C-alpha cells in the first residue's frame, strides 16, 4: 500500500495517502536526507553536485511525504476495479533557501530551478517503468506550503486519463486537419485582445473560455520542442515570463497561484502534442494534483475502505424504508 485506483467513468484516479505530516516547522530548511542533486551558479556555469553543498541555489530532493515510491506495494486490479500499486517517484525541486513567494525570486534562481527540473525529468524518464513525468509549482503562499517555492516532479507508471484524453484531441486534430490546437491558438491570439506578452519563444494569453478564475496560459511558440530540450536561452526567457505571470496574477487577485505544466509523455511518440503551461489561483498541493493530473488524494478520514461508509448509508436507507412502511400500513 498505497494503491492507485482508476475510475471507469470519469477522468479521475484516486490515491489514499497523507500529503504532509502537519509539522509546523519547515521540513526542507537544512534538510540533507534524500538529496538527489544540489545546484549552484558559479560565474557562467551551473555546478551540479550529488553531495550536500551548504551554499546551494536549488536542491532536488525526495519528497519527505511521497505519494509514489518504487517500494510501495498494492493490488493490481482489472475491470471495474482497476487498480495498481503507487509505484513511481515523487521529488521536489526547492528553488532557493529563503521562504519567498515564487514571483519574488530572481529570474536567475527560477532559471536554475527550471534547469534542475529538465535534468530531473530526464533522469526519471530513463527508469524502466516510468511512462509519464508530471511537473507543477505552488507559489509558496498557500495553506499547506508557506515555505519554499518548489516544483513537484512526479514519475508515474501510467499516463493519467486527463492527459490521455487531451492527447487524443490533439491526435484527432493532427490526423484530420494536419494542425495542432496550441499552434492554432498561438496564431489566432498573436497581437489579439487576449495577448498579454509575447517573446521570441513564448506567448502569454488569456484563454478564450477559461476553466478557472484568473487563468493565464503560457504557450511555447514552437510546436515540437519538449520542455526537457529547451536551450539555456529559452529557459532564461521562460523564467522571466513565469515570474512576471505569477506577479501579475498575484497583483490582480491577491491570492496564491500555481503553475500546471502539461508535458509530453516521456516514452511514447507524441509528436502531435504541444506542451504548455497554465497559471491559475490555487492554494494547496492537493488541489494541484487534481487540476493537473486528475488525481484525487483522499483524506485519511475519507478512507476508500467501503464497509464503514456503506454501513452508515445502508442504515439511512433502512430507516426511511421502515418509516414509509409504517406510514402506508
Ligand atoms: Zn524552509
Ligand atoms: Zn503545435
Distance 35 CA to ligand 1 centre (A): 15
Distance 94 CA to ligand 1 centre (A): 9
CB 107 within 8 A of CB 95: no
The rounded percent of the chain whose pLDDT value lies above 70 is 93
CA 259 vs CA 71, 210, 228, 292, 311: distances in Å: 29, 15, 17, 9, 40
CB neighbour list of residue 323: distance below 8 Å, 6 or more residues apart: none
Give the mean pLDDT of 258-286: 91
> Angle 107-125/232-253 helices, nearest 10 degrees?
120
Integer Cα distance of 130 and 142 in angstroms: 30
pLDDT tops 70 at residue 221: yes
Ligand nearest to the CA of 96: 1
C-alpha cell at 107: 529570474
Ligand nearest to the CA of 94: 1
Residue 166 confidence (pLDDT):
92
Distance 212 CA to ligand 2 centre (A): 23
CB 270 within 8 A of CB 264: yes
Distance 217 CA to ligand 1 centre (A): 29
Distance 199 CA to ligand 2 centre (A): 17
Ligand nearest to the CA of 174: 2
Distance 98 CA to ligand 1 centre (A): 7
CA angle (136 as vertex; 158, 282 as ends), nearest 5: 120
Phi, psi of 135, rounded to the nearest 5 degrees: -145, 135
pLDDT tops 70 at residue 116: yes
CB 300 within 8 A of CB 285: no
CB 87 within 8 A of CB 70: yes
CATH of 3-328, one of 3.40.640.10, 3.30.428.10, 3.30.465.10, 3.40.50.300: 3.30.428.10
- Domain residue ranges of the chain, discontinuous segments joined by +: 3-328
Ligand nearest to the CA of 271: 2
> What band does 262 get if pLDDT is binned at 50, 70 and 90?
very high
Closest CA to 297 of 72, 65, 114: 65
Distance 234 CA to ligand 1 centre (A): 29
Integer Cα distance of 198 and 190 in angstroms: 8
Integer Cα distance of 107 and 146 in angstroms: 21
pLDDT tops 70 at residue 32: no
Ligand nearest to the CA of 140: 1
Distance 224 CA to ligand 2 centre (A): 7
Is omega for the bond preceding 311 within 30 degrees of 0, making it cis? Answer: no
Distance 263 CA to ligand 2 centre (A): 13
Integer Cα distance of 133 and 137 in angstroms: 14
Is omega for the bond preceding 126 within 30 degrees of 0, making it cis? Answer: no
DSSP helix/strand/coil, 33: coil
Ligand nearest to the CA of 275: 2
Distance 146 CA to ligand 1 centre (A): 9
pLDDT tops 80 at residue 31: no
Q: pTM of the predicted model, to two decimals?
A: 0.92
> What band does 302 get if pLDDT is binned at 50, 70 and 90?
low
DSSP helix/strand/coil, 40: strand
pLDDT tops 90 at residue 34: no
Ligand nearest to the CA of 100: 1
Pairwise pLDDT comparison (73 vs 192), residue with the higher score: 192
Ligand nearest to the CA of 23: 1
User: For residue range 318-328, what is the model confidence (pLDDT) as tens digits?
Assistant: 988 887 777 66
Phi, psi of 23, rounded to the nearest 5 degrees: -65, 140
Distance 271 CA to ligand 2 centre (A): 9
Amino acid at each position: 500500500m498505497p494503491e492507485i485506483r482508476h475510475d471507469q467513468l470519469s477522468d479521475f484516479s484516486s490515491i489514499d495517502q497523507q500529503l504532509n505530516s502537519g509539522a509546523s516547522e519547515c521540513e526542507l530548511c537544512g534538510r540533507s536526507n534524500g538529496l538527489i542533486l544540489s545546484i549552484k551558479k558559479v560565474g557562467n556555469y551551473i555546478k551540479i553536485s550529488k553531495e550536500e553543498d551548504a551554499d546551494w541555489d536549488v536542491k532536488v530532493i525526495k519528497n519527505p511525504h511521497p505519494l509514489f515510491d518504487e517500494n510501495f506495494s498494492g493490488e493490481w486490479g482489472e475491470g471495474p476495479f482497476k487498480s495498481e500499486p503507487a509505484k513511481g517517484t515523487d521529488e521536489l525541486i526547492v528553488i532557493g533557501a529563503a521562504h519567498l513567494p515564487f514571483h519574488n525570486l530572481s529570474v536567475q534562481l527560477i532559471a536554475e530551478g527550471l534547469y534542475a527540473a529538465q535534468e530531473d525529468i530526464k533522469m526519471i524518464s530513463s527508469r524502466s517503468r516510468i511512462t509519464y513525468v508530471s511537473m507543477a509549482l505552488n507559489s509558496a503562499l498557500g495553506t499547506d506550503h508557506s515555505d519554499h517555492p518548489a516544483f513537484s516532479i512526479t514519475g508515474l507508471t501510467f499516463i493519467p486519463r486527463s492527459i490521455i484524453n487531451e492527447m487524443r484531441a490533439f491526435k484527432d486534430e493532427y490526423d484530420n486537419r494536419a494542425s495542432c490546437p496550441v499552434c492554432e491558438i498561438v496564431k489566432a491570439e498573436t497581437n489579439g485582445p487576449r495577448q498579454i506578452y509575447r517573446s521570441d519563444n513564448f506567448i502569454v494569453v488569456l484563454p478564450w473560455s477559461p476553466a478557472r478564475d484568473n487563468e493565464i496560459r503560457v504557450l511555447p511558440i514552437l510546436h515540437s520542442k519538449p520542455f526537457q530540450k529547451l536551450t539555456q536561452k529559452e529557459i532564461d526567457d521562460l523564467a522571466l515570463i513565469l515570474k512576471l505571470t505569477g506577479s501579475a496574477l498575484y497583483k490582480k487577485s491577491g491570492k496564491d497561484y500555481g503553475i500546471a505544466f502539461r508535458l509530453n509523455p516521456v516514452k511514447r511518440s507524441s509528436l502531435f502534442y504541444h506542451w504548455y503551461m497554465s497559471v491559475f489561483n490555487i492554494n494547496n498541493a492537493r488541489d494541484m494534483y487534481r487540476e493537473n493530473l486528475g488525481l484525487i488524494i483522499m483524506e485519511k478520514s475519507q478512507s476508500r475502505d467501503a464497509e464503514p461508509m456503506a454501513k452508515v448509508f445502508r442504515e439511512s436507507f433502512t430507516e426511511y424504508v421502515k418509516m414509509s412502511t409504517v406510514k402506508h400500513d
